[in-house]
Amino acid sequence: MLDQERRHRRTRAGRRVLSVRAQAVLVLRWFLDATRVCQLALDNQLSSSTAYRYLHEGIDVLAAQAPGLHGALLAARLAGHTHVGLDGTLVRTDRSKAAGPTRASAASRRQVVDLWWSGKHHHHGGNVQVITAPDGWPLWVSDVRPGRQHDVTCARADPEVFTAVAAFTDDTHPVLADLGYEGENTRLTCPIKKPARLASLTADQRTVNMLHSATRAPAERGNSLLKTTFKALRRVSLCPWRIGAITAAALALLHIEHNRST
């Protein structure tokens, strides 16, 4: 893939410091071991800027190989999957905070909200939506959204998500999601939310929730599989807006390694 990219760019022979193989090794070391870019530059006798350029080029080439949403859901239907799962995951970042929207504070002053801070996880990061097969195998990942946004907000930010979900869903092929997608119960199959205070779910409703939880639980495996396989996804040190491309590249690598897409 990297050699095709070089031909596409019309890079002349001998104009690159690293061969295609050496560049591929550099990219894989960063993904698998989260090797610092300064160490990669030192090991390959590169400047830091060249090492970053080679890394980003490799990320973009791999991300282009990741499956699209409509293709992933079509492949899931052809593979005979009875359902798929939709879940969000926070990919942590150690980058400095960035100013987001403002809100009124208790003292009637305008308070700046940190764009990448996740109140749920108490950490900076980007939210990525993941669609998984019934056994938890990741089929598709979305682009990144700021960590302060909830899962349902991130899903709504991509207009293709619910269009593709609607095309996949019928009476026998649901898309399972958790309560983080409350408000989209007509397009997703979500558990029943507990009513107001001093009320409780009925026995039938609790049974439905238990069955939903047991069926949807493997969806968590998709997020875990990506992060345990690729240490780079545990804490991204690049620009947070690159998290989407990085996750897509990791998904493509995972599919290639296991020779499985569905």
CB 188 within 8 A of CB 178: no
Q: What are the tokens at 173?
A: 């092929």
The one-letter amino acid at 190: C
Tokens of 240: 């947070």
CA 168 – CA 181 distance, rounded (Å): 18
On the CB side of 133, CA atoms within 13 Å amount to 17
| Those residues with Cβ within 8 angstroms of residue 7's Cβ, 6 or more apart along the chain or in another chain | none
Indicate the pTM of the whole model: 0.90
Q: How many CB atoms lie within 10 A of CB 4?
A: 10
Name the token pair of 90.
């926070």
What is the C-alpha to C-alpha distance for residues 103 and 67, in angstroms, rounded to an integer? 38
> Roughly how many angstroms between the first and final C-alpha of the chain, as a whole number?
22
Token pair for 67? 């499956």
β strands within 186-233, DSSP E: none
Nearest-angstrom CA–CA distance, 48 and 31: 17
Q: Which two tokens stand for residue 253?
A: 């690598």
Give the span between the Cα atoms of 126 and 146, in whole angstroms: 5
Beta bridge mates, 138: 132
Question: Tens of pLDDT along the chain (262 residues)?
Answer: 776 766 677 776 767 888 889 989 999 999 999 999 999 999 999 999 999 999 999 999 999 999 999 999 999 999 999 999 999 999 999 866 677 666 555 554 556 678 898 888 888 999 999 999 999 999 999 999 999 999 999 999 988 999 999 999 998 899 999 988 988 888 999 998 888 776 788 899 899 999 999 999 888 888 999 999 999 999 999 999 999 999 999 999 999 999 999 8
Q: How far, in Å, are 171, 225, 240 from residue 29 at the CA level?
A: 45, 18, 20
Q: pLDDT tens digit string along 52-105?
A: 999 999 999 999 999 999 999 999 999 999 999 999 999 999 866 677 666 555
- The continuous run of DSSP H or E covering 253 comes out as helix 243-258
